[in-house]
Amino acid sequence: MAGRIRTWASRSVERESTECKGGLIQHIVKSGLWHSDRSYTAIDLMRVLAITAGIDEASTDNLAHYDTVGGASAGKVDISDATVIARKVAGLEANP
């Protein structure tokens, strides 16, 4: 069953029920509703939280983009990285 949904970016996208198999994050990423300038968005935060929770795996590109905290957290995406990205998305820190 096809339907129209409104997104946070005020764009309508077509959604087929079969697309739910891949998950919400994959649907949003495939639909192009994210920023391409490498600044962090709510979509990035959702992905980092999914990686941190073990729901998704970090690709090499994800690791390079989302591994924002050094020290003991370096080389992996964890809750420290999610916290920094959440602050950037909320406008509490500079967002590249």
**pLDDT recorded at residue 39:** 87
Q: Helix/strand/coil (H, E, C) string of 4-62?
A: EEECCCCCEEEECHHHHHHCHHHHHHHHCCCCCCCCCCHHHHHHHHHHHHCCCCCCHHH
Question: Is residue 77 located within the same domain as residue 51?
Answer: yes
Question: Is residue 75 located within the same domain as residue 93?
Answer: yes
Question: Is residue 54 located within the same domain as residue 76?
Answer: yes
pLDDT digits (tens, 9 = 90+) for 69-93: 988 888 999 999 999 999 999 999 9
Question: Is residue 65 located within the same domain as residue 46?
Answer: yes
**pLDDT recorded at residue 96:** 76
Question: Is residue 61 located within the same domain as residue 19?
Answer: no
**pLDDT recorded at residue 15:** 46
pLDDT digits (tens, 9 = 90+) for 13-57: 444 444 444 566 666 566 555 555 678 989 899 999 999 999 999
Spatial distance between the Cα atoms of 1 and 15, rounded to a whole number of angstroms = 9
Rg value, the chain, Cα: 14
Q: What residues make up the domain containing 53?
A: 35-96
**pLDDT recorded at residue 31:** 55
Question: Is residue 52 located within the same domain as residue 95?
Answer: yes
pLDDT of residue 9 exceeding 80: no
Residue 67, both tokens: 């591994």
Question: Is residue 8 located within the same domain as residue 44?
Answer: no
Q: Read off the pTM.
A: 0.63
Question: Is residue 41 located within the same domain as residue 21?
Answer: no
Number of domains within the chain: 2
**pLDDT recorded at residue 14:** 47
Question: Is residue 56 located within the same domain as residue 90?
Answer: yes
Q: Which single residue is written with the structure tokens 């994210």?
A: 34
- The candidate with the shortest Cα–Cα distance to 63, out of 54, 51, 80, 46, is 51
Spatial distance between the Cα atoms of 29 and 38, rounded to a whole number of angstroms = 14
Question: Is residue 53 located within the same domain as residue 28?
Answer: no
